[in-house]
Amino acid sequence: MKKTRLFFQLVGIGVFAISLLIASCTKEGATGPAGADGTDGVDGTDGNSTCLACHSSEAKASIEAQFAMSVHSSGLNAVDYAGGRASCAQCHSHQGFVQYATSGSVAGNITNPTAWECATCHGLHETMEYSDYALRLDDPINPLFDPETTMDLNGNSNLCANCHQSRRAEPNVTNPGEETFTITSTHYGPHHGAQANVVAGVGFAEIEGSVSYPEAGSADHLTQASCTGCHMSEFDDDSDQGGHTYNPSLLACNTCHDANDEDFNYGGVQSLVEGQLETLRDELIRLGVVEYVEEDEAYEPIVGTYPMVQARAFFNWAGLDEDRSLGVHNPKYIQALLQNSIEALEEIETPE
């Protein structure tokens, strides 16, 4: 016991001696000046700011009000005619598009189809960044009129192209090498609203003529603009254009073209194309391919068999008339298609 007590006493003396030695080596003087402050860090983004850009009550109310002005929200266009049919629901109802975007097809007829809504185009976010709009589809597409090719309208605009494309190929593609083509229905032609074909410069009947066709994919509105840039630019309260109305924005056009036009007839393109469309329509009427149907208040093809060039010219007229941009979407391509179609028909004598 005495040895143990002696051991701890010696250890204590040693620790005390070491502490005195350390204290004797420490010198204290006057406090020096304070050092310069370090560089301030950059404030991070508020975690809620990105979400609130779309999901705040005010933002949602604004988007919903804009969308209510759009043709896409109309039951007549989106649902009433074709929303429940499996072959059409992919683009004519909310349920059909979600099925298509998720699985690549529509399983069958839809009993109670509804019009488009936010969740039709928007699914789950991936990155949570401001540019992540959670679009269900934005990859380049393989168009229905030619699944072996790829049509790329660049990023967000590819969502539009999934529906705004022709379902049918032009007559010389479906019946290659044949001299005639049979129109079997008054509904024949490119599917309504094939704007993606027009912008991309593909899918129409490139009849030979005096005007050369521009290279596919070279249109200024494909390479320097976009569907969303023109139709979904910042919403303008005065004109009800842009935003989720999808109405093309005159302000966006004037900004890009450094112009101050009061309509979309930049450079007289719409006037020229409107005249070409009327001339081509009249040629088709003269040749007995098209007639005006009072009951439908529309010009429609007459069921029958025609020389291939006449069927191809009708395909161009129907598709470009229903493009409804009057040339704006792709001026050089549209004018070439119409002028060459007109020239080809003008060489044909009026049938007796």
Q: What is the pLDDT of residue 153?
A: 94
Give the rounded percent of residues in the chain with a pLDDT score beyond 90: 70
The DSSP 8-state label assigned to residue 335 in this structure reads H
Question: 209 has which bridge partners?
Answer: none
Give residue-wise pLDDT tens across range 244-300: 999 999 999 999 999 999 999 999 999 999 999 999 999 999 999 999 999 999 999
Q: Residue 161 is encoded by which pair of tokens?
A: 């192209």
Per-residue pLDDT reduced to its tens digit, 111-129: 999 998 999 999 888 777 7
Residue 312 in this model has a pLDDT that exceeds 60: yes
Residue 4, pLDDT > 60, answer no
Name residue, tokens 């549209």.
334
pLDDT recorded at residue 81: 79
**Residue 299, helix vs strand vs coil:** strand
Q: Are strands 290-293 and 180-183 parallel, antiparallel or unpaired?
A: unpaired
Position 56 scores a pLDDT of 85
Instruction: Report the phi/psi class of residue 20: left, alpha or beta, with left for phi > 0 and alpha for psi in -120 to 50.
Output: alpha
200: its two tokens: 């991309």
Q: Can you tell me the mean pLDDT for 4-8?
A: 51
Q: Are 164 and 193 in contact (CB under 8 A)?
A: yes
DSSP class of 93: S
Vertex 253, ends 252 and 254: CA angle to 5°? 95
Say whether pLDDT at 12 is over 70: no
Mean pLDDT of 100-108: 94
Q: Are 290 and 349 in contact (CB under 8 A)?
A: no
Say what the pLDDT of residue 77 is: 67
Integer Cα distance of 319 and 202 in angstroms: 12
What digits encode the pLDDT tens for the residues 322-339? 999 999 999 999 999 999
Burial 132-148 (b: 16+ CB within 10 A, else e): eebbbbbeebebbbeee
Alpha helices by DSSP H, the chain: 2-25, 49-55, 57-68, 75, 89-92, 94-103, 118-121, 157-161, 171-174, 195-200, 220-223, 227-231, 250-257, 269-286, 308-323, 331-346
Q: Residue 1 — pLDDT band, cuts 50, 70, 90? A: low
Structure tokens at 127: 């990155």
- Judged by average pLDDT, the poorest of 130-139, 147-156, 286-295 is 130-139
With contact defined as beta carbons under 8 Å apart, do 243 and 59 qualify? no
Q: State what percent of residues in the chain have pLDDT above 70.
A: 87
pLDDT digit string, tens, across residues 195-235 = 999 999 999 999 999 999 999 999 989 988 899 999 999 99
Averaged pLDDT score across all residues of the chain: 88
Q: Is the pLDDT confidence value at 23 over 70?
A: no
Quick one: pLDDT at residue 33? 75
Q: Is the pLDDT of residue 319 over 80?
A: yes
pLDDT at 44: 56
pLDDT of residue 5: 54
pLDDT at 185 over 80: yes
